[in-house]
Amino acid sequence: MFPLSFKKSFDIEFIQSLYDRLVSHDDSLKLILRTKNGRKTDDPSKAGIGEIRNASNKQLFGMSAKEGIVHTKHAGVLQTPLFDFLKERGIHQQEVSPDTGVACVLLYVVLVAGGGLLYTTHNNVGFLYPYLLGCVASVLLGLALISYAYKPGQKKWSIPAMVLLAIGALPTAPSSLLALPMINYLGRAKLHRVFNQGGEDAETIHT
């Protein structure tokens, strides 16, 4: 399943406090700190990236320069204290908007479809244009499947979504990077629903 995420700049106090909370439930957890360049460090003042890993060395929480990431499938019984901590820190109050994601996806379509038409026409390679349109369609369908995979009980669509994204995104890189804001939005929207709606989303958060 795709991870859940929220906006927050790296905060050593935040991830250290979360680790202290979780390790009281499971002393096999590990807190790994890294510099902004990705090198491991034992000096909190130099850390720019943080990870909390379980006994199987799977990341259940990560924090980068701009966001926090929750891997619910690796959290197991720690989901409750993990989400309780995030609520205490006000993460559930964050506003989630698709505006940036939608704008970036539209720009991607214009760049590849519009720019592709100009390029293929000018260079007499019109036979390539349907291929570019297919790539765009693959990316859009992949995003739609990611959204569907975030619904309770639909994690089986995660792999098809990633395959479709790869099929369309790799040939159209780097323009396809414009799909990332929408992917981030979908993860934040799911987390927001879990926090604020409860019900089916909360009961099946591990799916």
Instruction: List the chain domain ranges.
Output: 4-93, 99-203
Strand pairing of 67-70 and 59-63?
A: antiparallel
pLDDT below 50 — which residues of the chain? 199-200, 202-207
Cα–Cα distance for residue pair 191/92, rounded to 1 Å: 8
Burial of 112 per CB tally in 10 Å (0-12, 13-18, 19+): buried
DSSP conformational letter for 14: H
Q: SS3 for 40?
A: strand
- Tell me what pLDDT residue 195 has: 86
pTM of the model: 0.84
- Tell me what pLDDT residue 1 has: 67
Yes or no: say if 62 and 15 are a contact pair by the CB < 8 Å rule.
no
- Tell me what pLDDT residue 200 has: 47
Cα–Cα distance for residue pair 101/146, rounded to 1 Å: 14
Token pair belonging to 26: 């499971």
> ω before 171 within 30° of 0 (cis)?
no
Task: Give me the residue label for tokens 């309780």.
Answer: 84
- Tell me what pLDDT residue 50 has: 97
- Tell me what pLDDT residue 196 has: 80
DSSP conformational letter for 114: I
Task: Sort residue 163 into left (φ over 0), alpha (ψ -120 to 50) or beta.
Answer: alpha
